[in-house]
Structure 1
Amino acid sequence: MKHPVDVHVGKRIRHRRWMTGVTQQQLADRVGIKFQQIQKYETGMNRVSASRLWDIAHALTVPVTFFFEGIDEAERSAEMAPPAQQNDMLSDREAQELLRSYYAIPEQQRRRLFDLARSLSDAA
C-alpha cells in the first residue's frame, strides 16, 4: 500500500520535473538510475531514499524541503475532496498549464496572485 508521504513526494518530483521541462529520462540520467525508477517514485510505488532525494533535489535545483512543502494541506485536501478529484488534480492538462504559467510569473507578483486566489476561494 502506498504511504501518503511517498505519494506526495512523488507528485512534487513530477511537478518540479514537469515545470522545468525535464523528461523522466533526463532526470534519471542526471541521477544515475533508470527512467522506470523515476516513474515509480512519481507514482509513490517506491519510496525515495534520503540520498536519492538529495540527488533528485540537486538535479532539479530545489532544496530537499521542496518535496515536503504543502504536505499538511495535501492531506487535508485529500480528506475533503471527492474521491474522483483526489488523484486527478495534477493530471488535468488545464491545471498543469496554469501551474506552468503561475511559476513563470516573477516571485513577488506570484505571491500577490496567490493571495488574491486564496481570498477569492475563501469568499466563494
Structure 2
Amino acid sequence: MPNHPVDVHVGSRVRMRRTLLGLSQQKLGDKLGLTFQQVQKYERGANRIGASRLFDISKFLDVAPSFFFEGMPSEVSKSSAGFAEPGESFEHQHLDKRETLELLRAYYKITNLDVRKRVFEVIKSIAAEYEK
C-alpha cells in the first residue's frame, strides 16, 4: 500500500526541521525513546506519526504542531483519500535535499541583516541569469 500523502508531507517537515537544527536521526530518536530507524520511517512517511508523538516531536524541535502541516500541497489538503502520486512536488524536489537545508542553515547564521540581504540579492541575481 502506498504511503499516504499527508504522512509523507508531515515526515518531510520533521526531516526539514531536524536537519535545520543540525540534529541527527539518532539524537531525535534518543530524545523520543525511539530508534533512528523509526525516525527514518516517520520521515519517509512509511509510518504514520500519532498525535501524542507529533506533539512530543514538536516540543523537541521547538515548533507548533501545526508546523508539520504547513505548505501541504493543495491536492493533498483537498482530498486526503488519495495516495501520493509518483511525481514529486517542489518541496520534495528541493527542500528535502541536504544541500538546501545546509544552505538555509548557513544563511541564517549570518547575523548581520544587511549582509544577509546582500547575499540574498546576489543569489537571486545569479538565479535570474539562468532563467534567461
Q: TM above 0.5, one fold?
A: yes
Highest RCO, 1 vs 2 (Cα 8 Å, sep ≥ 6): 2
In structure 2, runs of 5+ residues without a counterpart are 78-85
For the residues of structure 1 that align with 2:53 and 2:18, how far apart are their CA atoms?
Answer: 15
1:98 and 2:99 aligned: no
Pair 30,47 (structure 1): closer, same or farther in 2 beyond 3 Å:
same
Cα deviation code 1:25-83 (max 9, x no counterpart): 1101111111110000000100000011011111111110110010135859xxxxx94
Pair 34,92 (structure 1): closer, same or farther in 2 beyond 3 Å:
closer
Question: Paired residue for 1:16?
Answer: 17
Matches within 5 A, 1:39-78: 39-72=40-73, 75=76
Task: Find the residue that maps to 2:48 and give its secondary structure.
Answer: coil
CA displacement at 1:102 relative to structure 2: 4.8
In structure 1, runs of 5+ residues without a counterpart are 77-81
For the residues of structure 1 that align with 2:107 and 2:88, how far apart are their CA atoms?
Answer: 25
Pair 104,71 (structure 1): closer, same or farther in 2 beyond 3 Å:
farther
Which amino acid is 2:9 matched to? Answer: H
Task: Find the residue that maps to 1:71 and give its secondary structure.
Answer: coil
Question: Paired residue for 1:3?
Answer: 4
Please, what is the CA RMSD of the aligned residues? Answer: 3.3
Pair 105,66 (structure 1): closer, same or farther in 2 beyond 3 Å:
farther
Which amino acid is 2:105 matched to? Answer: R
CA displacement at 1:101 relative to structure 2: 3.8
Please give the TM-score of this superposition, normalised by the length of structure 1: 0.69
CA displacement at 1:3 relative to structure 2: 0.6
CA displacement at 1:12 relative to structure 2: 0.3
Pair 51,43 (structure 1): closer, same or farther in 2 beyond 3 Å:
same
How many residue pairs get matched?
109
Between Structure 1 and Structure 2, the one with more helix by share is 1
Pair 34,67 (structure 1): closer, same or farther in 2 beyond 3 Å:
same
Please give the TM-score of this superposition, normalised by the length of structure 2: 0.66
CA displacement at 1:99 relative to structure 2: 2.7
